[in-house]
């Protein structure tokens, strides 16, 4: 048996910008199903959708510990990447692996694009790529590595100097950058809600239904506070929270990130932000800030990441982090120093020690995907879809790409785990300087 833990949540996330939504009922009682998917983030939603298409005469049970949109999939910065960046440069022998990872990213992006269009999901979807930027010495070195990588893989991009970036973004902060043409911006909580509310009829979603334990057997048994599920097949789509259920405990940990939103900008303030109507900026330093001008005229800036045991930040912690957000905001947009933040948010990402992902069968009739290291919107969608096919006995090029993920590097047990995770997350900020 593997036992689960708490599933904390709060109202400090992108869902706070959306209207109230009627949630599905928690699961109660005893149930026997062919398929149970645990986790209604992008991976679980993609998996459930694909299973429903593959098995139209079977019921797919989808369990979510929180409300839809309150987990990690609804709390990221809203970047669906097609092209991953690899810090430190890419050696020629590593290019094929980079191509494999980008194929997975693009598969997820294609799936999301179709699902958003087919189901008329209002999630501020904008497909115009991203800006990758550098302000300090270490990020400028990464800028050179990134350009060589993009050129080697013949990825469409535009190198930009400080003047061009200032003209597009309204910030003189950045010294160099590149616009990668592929990739989509979106409102993550709205995306996840829309995907959940448009599931096929043979998917039964239950929110506020945390799984407390999974007992391996034939069939596996899922235990909840007020219910029991026996499923022929179980899909774990809980990312870093798989460790709470006894899976990947020595291979997957979590980093807690935080950011802030401004109030809605007025016309005069918006006019100072360059020629691009909406944009997203990813720092070329792995610990640098993620910045967005959203479709609803807010600036969102995320520039902290820390080890917090997989927990969201408290009110007091968020208030303290806002001083860091504020400093990063005013360095980039001194003309908007008078604009207040409306609220702060935190979210948790699953990270592996060596940056790999996890995909495949973990026990008899138990399958898992997770560990996206900050690229979960597109990659999680691809992994969830591929896992449904794989668990159903299918084979495909996408499945082969997912299965080719490198084995995870071992993480020592607690308390060394906590120390190692803390140092791993803190190392992301080494040399970040002006890019924070």
Residue 133 has pLDDT above 90, yes or no: yes
User: Domain check: are 134 and 24 in the same one?
Assistant: no
State the CATH number of the domain containing residue 152.
Answer: 3.30.9.10
Question: 32 — phi, psi (to 5°)?
Answer: -130, 120
Asked if residue 145 is part of any domain, the answer here is yes
Residue 426 has pLDDT above 70, yes or no: no
Distance CA 222, CA 209 (A): 11
Domain membership of residue 123 (yes or no) is no
Same structural domain, 202 and 342: no
Q: How far apart are CA 428 and CA 72, in angstroms?
A: 20
Write the DSSP string, 56-106. Answer: TTS-EEEE-SS-TTSSGGGTS--EE-SS---TT---GGGHHHHHHHHHHHH
Residues 234 and 376 in one domain: yes
Q: Is 298 inside a domain boundary?
A: yes
Least confident of 22-36, 107-121, 227-241, 249-263: 249-263
**264 with 345, same domain?**
yes
124, part of any domain: no
Q: Are residues 364 and 347 in the same domain?
A: no
The tally of domains found in the chain comes to 2
Question: Are residues 389 and 276 both part of a single domain?
Answer: no
Q: What angle do CA 112, 117, 121 make, to 5 degrees?
A: 85
Question: 385 is in which domain, residue-wise?
Answer: 2-74+189-251+354-405
Tell me, yes or no, whether 391 lies in a domain. yes
Residues 401 and 316 in one domain: no
- How many other β-carbons are positioned within 10 Å of the β-carbon of residue 433? 15
Among candidate residues 366, 360, 46, the one with its CA nearest the CA of residue 232: 366
Element (H, E) at 205: strand 203-206
Q: pTM for the full model?
A: 0.95
Neighbouring-strand partners of residue 329: none
Strand ranges across the sheet with 299-306: 157-161, 176-180, 130-134, 279-283, 290-293, 299-306, 253-262, 341-351
Structure-model confidence comparison of residues 43 and 305, the more confident one? 43
Q: Are residues 196 and 175 in the same domain?
A: no
Q: In whole angstroms, what is the distance from residue 420 CA to residue 328 CA?
A: 27
- Please report the pLDDT score of residue 417 as a whole number: 61
Same domain, 63 and 8: yes
Give the DSSP letter of residue 266: -
Tell me, yes or no, whether 87 lies in a domain: no
pLDDT in tens, 336-370: 999 999 999 999 998 888 889 999 999 999 999 99
In a domain? residue 418: no
Predicted local distance difference test score (pLDDT) of residue 409: 87
Judge whether 43 lies within some domain. Answer: yes
- The CATH number of the domain holding residue 219 is 3.50.50.60
| 296 and 309 fall within a common domain | yes
Same domain, 15 and 139: no
Q: What is the pLDDT of residue 290?
A: 97
The Cα–Cα gap between 41 and 50 comes to 14
Do 287 and 394 reside in the same domain of the chain? no
Mean pLDDT of 236-257: 91
Question: 331: closest CA among 412, 253, 434?
Answer: 434
């Amino acid at each position: 048996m593997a036992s689960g833990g708490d599933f904390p949540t709060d109202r400090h996330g992108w869902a706070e910008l959306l209207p109230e939504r009627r949630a599905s009922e928690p699961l109660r009682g005893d149930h026997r199903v062919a398929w149970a998917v645990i986790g209604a983030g992008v991976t679980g939603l993609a998996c459930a959708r694909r299973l429903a298409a593959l098995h139209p005469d079977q019921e797919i049970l989808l369990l979510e510990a929180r409300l839809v949109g309150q987990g990690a999939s609804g709390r990221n910065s809203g970047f669906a990447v097609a092209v991953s960046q690899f810090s430190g440069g890419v050696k020629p022998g590593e290019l094929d692996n980079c191509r494999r990872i980008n194929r997975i990213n693009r598969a997820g992006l294609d799936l999301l694009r179709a699902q958003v269009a087919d189901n008329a999901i209002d999630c501020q979807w904008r497909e115009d790529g991203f800006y990758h930027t550098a302000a300090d010495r270490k990020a400028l070195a990464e800028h050179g590595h990134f350009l060589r990588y993009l050129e080697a893989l013949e990825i469409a991009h535009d190198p930009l100097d400080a003047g061009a970036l200032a003209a597009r973004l309204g910030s003189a902060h950045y010294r160099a950058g590149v616009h990668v043409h592929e990739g989509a911006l979106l409102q993550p909580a709205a995306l996840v809600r829309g995907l959940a509310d448009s599931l096929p009829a043979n998917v039964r979603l239950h929110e506020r239904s945390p799984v407390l334990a999974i007992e391996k057997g034939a069939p596996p048994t899922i235990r909840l506070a007020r219910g029991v599920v026996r499923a022929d097949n179980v899909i774990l789509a809980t990312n870093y929270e798989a460790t709470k259920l006894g899976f990947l405990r020595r291979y997957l940990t979590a980093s807690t990130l935080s950011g802030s939103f401004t109030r809605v900008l007025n016309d005069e303030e918006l006019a100072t932000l360059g020629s691009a109507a909406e944009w997203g900026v990813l720092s070329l330093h792995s610990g640098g800030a993620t910045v967005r001008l959203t479709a609803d005229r807010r600036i969102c800036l995320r520039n902290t990441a820390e080890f917090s045991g997989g927990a969201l930040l408290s009110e007091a912690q968020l208030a303290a982090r806002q001083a860091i957000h504020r400093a990063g905001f005013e360095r980039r947009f001194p003309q908007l120093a008078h604009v207040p933040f409306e609220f702060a948010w935190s979210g948790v990402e699953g990270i592996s020690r060596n940056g790999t992902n996890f995909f495949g069968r973990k026990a008899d009739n138990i399958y898992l995907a997770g560990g996206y290291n900050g690229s979960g919107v597109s990659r999680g969608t691809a992994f969830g879809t591929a896992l449904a096919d794989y668990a159903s006995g299918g084979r495909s090029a996408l499945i082969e790409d997912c299965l080719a993920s490198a084995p995870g590097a071992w993480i020592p047990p607690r308390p060394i785990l906590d120390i190692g995770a803390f140092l791993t997350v803190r190392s992301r900020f080494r040399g970040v300087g002006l890019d924070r």
